[in-house]
Amino acid sequence: MTRKKDMVFYFIIGLITVVLMAIISFFVKPAHAATLYVMGGRAVSNSITDVHSGAWGVEQETPTAHGTWGFGYMNEGHQRGDKRDGIYAMREFNYQFAKNVETSFAIGPYFTATTQTAANGVDYQDHYSWAALAGASAKYYVDGHWSLMARWNHVLYAAHNKDADVFLIGVGYSPTSW
């Protein structure tokens, strides 16, 4: 596919994902109040070389009358000659095991910005693309305001065949008690 066709394809996939998530959200009830998470961890690029790098992100988890949404920024780290980060919106499907323990599966569109260093090591080129982001997490609610989260995100259909796995742990705070 050409670059323009790739962008159209990723845009359509992202749009279809958001529409499907909105439809599904009418059938799910949120369990907790809005929470801001700060996370850090490790990213693994699923390419031929499997490069590892530090990663970090922030996410606002927002329950609505029709389900929980996560809106965030994720930095996949700095690999040799390649840096990727982006913003995302994910629909979260939560399952509460106990009063303080919850797991979730999430999926949504991910708009990425990739900076690649040229062969001369001085120049660089920026690439922008759409990808899909799928994730799973486990959350422990410490008290009425604080929570802990362990999350795995998988970047799918990323440009330049660079799918990635991002493993994050974080702490969350909600100004409203659950």
Whether 101 has a pLDDT exceeding 80, the answer reads yes
Res 147: pLDDT: 94
162, containing H or E segment: none
pTM of the model: 0.75
Token match 């992100």: residue? 57
Instruction: Give the tokens for residue 20.
Output: 């499907």
Q: Indicate the pLDDT class of residue 6, thresholds 50, 70 and 90.
A: low
pLDDT at 1: 44
* Per-residue pLDDT tens over the stretch 38-64: 999 999 877 656 677 899 999 999 887
Tens digits of residue pLDDT in 65-78: 767 889 999 998 77
Overall average pLDDT of the 73-101 stretch: 85
Cα(89)–Cα(109) distance, integer angstroms: 6
The rounded distance, in Å, linking the Cα atoms of 19 and 141 is 30
Mean pLDDT of the chain: 80
Tell me what pLDDT residue 27 has.
Answer: 54
Residue 42's DSSP bridge partners are: 54, 167
- Name the residue with higher pLDDT: 27 or 81: 81
**What local confidence, expressed as pLDDT, does residue 166 receive?**
93
Domains observed in the chain: 3-173 (2.40.160.20)
Specify the pLDDT at position 4.
58
Whether the predicted pLDDT of 151 surpasses 90: yes
- The contacts of residue 134 (CB under 8 Å, 6+ apart) are 105, 106, 107, 153, 154, 156
Q: What's the one-letter identity of residue 121?
A: G
Q: Which of 113, 64, 115, 62 is nearest to 89 (CA)?
A: 62
Tell me which residue of 40, 21, 46 sits closest to 149, measured CA to CA: 40
Q: What region, left, alpha or beta, does residue 160 occupy, with left being phi > 0 and alpha being psi -120 to 50 degrees?
A: left
**104-150: per-residue pLDDT in tens?**
999 999 998 887 777 776 777 787 888 899 999 999 999 888 999 99
Cβ 46 vs Cβ 166: under 8 Å = no
pLDDT band at 8 (very low <50, low <70, confident <90, very high): low
Q: Residue 78: what pLDDT?
A: 73
